[in-house]
Structures are given as structure tokens and as C-alpha cells.
Structure 1
């Protein structure tokens, strides 16, 4: 089978909700195998402002999340067979970098993309390169602004994306069309 990669941030402060742990538990109950997790360190783009809590006091300091999790699962077995001798497009340098458990690169500004929770194309690009072969299909069930589709195209893959918000679906379609025109 293929791979399922879930990008997730934890929620709240009172109480703090370890959403990554809850999703991991649910996926394991559904029969998925946990392949690992990547920490996306967004510190390069983190604000210097403080979180709510106490300022310079041990009374109630609040941690500021500058990371998100990418949880990686597979179904059936850990290894995919390459019986058709499909082409891998990842370079040696990319493989060495992308297989590290901590990735550090900045976020994508919401104002630049037009979506409230964008992630940079670099994030799905790394996952697409690691977990798929050239000309395979990448599925994004929560397409948003189309970042995963752009990463799939960049890596020589096909994509299928679902988005229930018509505004974001139109945004993704326009961005994909612009990207393919520029790439050609």
C-alpha cells in the first residue's frame, strides 16, 4: 500500500490538547502502521512576541509552539514493492536531508497564499519525493490552497485533491493553472 502523511499542530493551552497523540492512537486502532514522525521546526518564522501566561515569572509561563508534526503511516506493510521498476526522482542530497526527523524551514504567509493555514510547498514536496515514485498519484483529501498538488506537479507526480470550500477550491485551481503555465 501507500503512505498516509498527516500534518498536525497541537491545540489549546487550558487544556493543552496533544492532537498528534490522539491522531496517532486513532490511526493505529484503524490498522495503520506508524512509520515515524517528522518535527517541522517553524522557528525561523516564529514571532518574537510572548505567549499568554506570565512574563518572566514562574507563576504561569506558557510555551509557544514553533513546530508541527508530520505523522507518517502505512497500511499492510512497511515496505512497498517496486515490481514495475518505477523511477525514484529524489537526489542523494535530498534523501539525506529529507530522512532527518527534524525539518527546519519557515511558514508561508497566509496573506501571500490567500488561505488561513498554508504550509510551504517544501513540506509536501519532501513527502512526495520520499514516499512516491515518478508518475504515481498523490491524494490530498483536504486540498486547501493546492500546495500538495503543486508539490506533486513539481516532483513529476499526478494528484487528486478534494476541497469542500468552493472559495479555496477555486484558489487551488487558479494557483495550479498559474504554476503549470509558468513551468511550461
Structure 2
């Protein structure tokens, strides 16, 4: 098995290299309108935005910024296949312009625009960005009637193009079964509130790129790709940034493509892909470790498990998990300036240990694996934006 990963340095408002209906899943996080770190990016594409901000006209600036994003959502709708999903990570914004402090509901504006295009909105996910700030309140502090609640969550909008995706041929049905989730993963990941993810740190030291990228956690992209696509699908990120979606697609055995207007964010990206192979194998091994831990706990509680996975030989809760198999990225080769090909292997049934199958891949033990198996995170210390 192999996957292809290509990125383009240009504006995603015209994704000429992506044909109609060729993308199965979009996982992305756009620049957030009305967050000042992205003012320059938006103003560069529409100078009326800069004028509106200077005049403290927040409503106009908000709308003009979203009109810039609307062009990308139109392209996303065009390239998605029938039944394909778009997962958009977005946060609302708070801002003071002049003497007026206000909330700018980015998630609602994007929902309105995408539904007008023909997308079906499905239940969204809220994920809470953990913070250690000791003084989190806003406004007048202890005095009533002048304070504002904190804004510590973001939205993952789940949109679908058309009706439910169909898997009709024997080959597509088999691939879908092999792409299954563990029962306990399904229960955790398909909750509408995620409390266990940590926001990706933005401090860069001498490297300032991530201050302009707003990178989301690897775990977020990896979950969504496994939830809403099958192996071999094409995943698109029209706001690629530092490439987190591409890395997650590589780990999950999906193809990917992405667009980014700032070439500095993807400097040495091919080297990063190769260096991440050992981390990817640790992600997969940790999924197996977490499942085995879950099985042991369930059996210890006297709850029977009726089925066995055909490849690994370990118990699974449902019939749908019997053919689940996790492909391990073991090598990556660069083809041209903007394309990577990743090759995969499968661990042996005897060991069910992905580390042996990836023994030739570079491994950095001190930053891979979870701090605790019980935390449910696959890759808490891997920071793909660094």
C-alpha cells in the first residue's frame, strides 16, 4: 500500500489542480475573522477590510473577511465527492473596536454560507482548549454587570455534500471494514464535546511561522480523518499551514493534497514528513495498546467479548471490528518539490506490534507515545507545527 501527498503554494480560491468531485474529506482550519493576527492576510485580499478596521466598523470588517473565505467554501463544495465531508475547525472571536467590545460568531457565519451552497450541516463538535491562565475572567472582574465570560472552546463544523456515502462494490466494502474504528474509540470520538485535546502551542522562539498558522493539534486531524474517511481516500486542506492535516493523513493511510499561500510555513516539510515516520508507528501502536488495556478492563469487570479480530487475534466488541487492520508508514520518498509518496506495512499477527514493522523508520522515543494510556490521547507530545 502507498499514498500520495501533494501541496500547492497558492490561494485555494482557485484549486485548479483538484478536479470536480475528487476529494472525499476536507479537514481544515481557516484564518479566524476578527482575530487581529490574521488582519493582514485578509486585508491583503480585500483592501476594504483594512479601511473598515480603521473606522472601527466591526460588522463590515467581519462580513468582508468572511466573503474572502466564501470563495474557498465554494471551491470545497465543487471538489468534494457526493457523500463527502468537510470538517472545519473554527473559533469565534472577541474584539474591541473603538469603545465597543463584541463577539463575532465565525462558526455561525460559516454555517450560513456553506448551507447556502448546498451543504448539509450535521451535529458539530465542541473542543475545549485547555488553559492554565490564573486570571481568565474578562471585563470588570468582581463587579457585576460589566464582565464577560471566557471564550475557551472552538467548533468543528461537520458538513456533508449530498446524501449518505454508498459503498457498493465488494472491494469498497472490504476497505471500509478494514478502516473500522475500535468500539471504544467510536464512543469517545463521536461525542459532541472533546475535553481531552490540548491546543497547539503558539510560542515559536526564533521561529515565528506558527504565529501565523494557528495550527490545530495533530490528534484533532487524525481523529477526524479516521472518523469520516476510509483508507486510500483523498483528504484536502485548503489552509494547509504547517501541514498538520497532511501528516495526519499519512499516519492514517489516506492520500492528501493542500493549499497554502505562505511558502515559509512549509519550509523543509518533506524532511518533516520523513522524520515523523517513527512517530506515526507509535500512534498506531498506542491505539493497539489502548485497545488491549480496554479489553483487559472489560474482561476484569466480567463483561464478555464475543468477537476476535481476524488479523491481530485480539478480542473486539463488535462484528464490525473483525477485519480492522492498521497500516504502518515505513518509508517516504520525495517526488518533485511538492509531492511525497509514503509506503506502508502491516504488523504480524503474532506480535500485533507496529514497532517491529517500522524498525527501519526513525524513532525518537522521548517525544512519542502517550504520557498515560488512560488519557486516551494517541500523540500528546508530537507537535507537527514545530
* Deviation of the 1:145 alpha carbon: 1.1
Question: Structure 1 unaligned runs (5+)?
Answer: none
Q: Match for residue 124 of structure 1?
A: 221
Q: Give, in whole Å, the separation in 2 of the partners of 1:55 and 1:149.
A: 42
Per the alignment, do residues 26 and 98 of structure 1 end up closer, same or farther by CA in structure 2, a change over 3 Å counting?
A: same
Q: Give, in whole Å, the separation in 2 of the partners of 1:174 and 1:57.
A: 53
Q: Match for residue 39 of structure 1?
A: 126
Q: Match for residue 101 of structure 1?
A: 192
- Structural mapping, 1:1-184, within 5 Å: 1=82, 2-13=84-95, 14-42=101-129, 44-77=130-163, 79-83=164-168, 84-85=172-173, 86-87=175-176, 88-104=179-195, 105-111=197-203, 114-116=209-211, 117-170=214-267, 172-180=269-277, 183=280, 184=361
* Deviation of the 1:172 alpha carbon: 4.2
Query: Which is higher, the Rg of structure 1 or of structure 2?
Result: 2
TM-score scaled by length of structure 2: 0.45
> Size of the alignment, in residue pairs?
182
Asked if structure 2 preserves the Cα contact closer than 8 Å seen for 1:36 and 1:72, the reply is yes
TM-score scaled by length of structure 1: 0.90
Question: Structure 2 unaligned runs (5+)?
Answer: 1-81, 96-100, 281-360, 362-386
- Give the superposed CA RMSD: 1.9
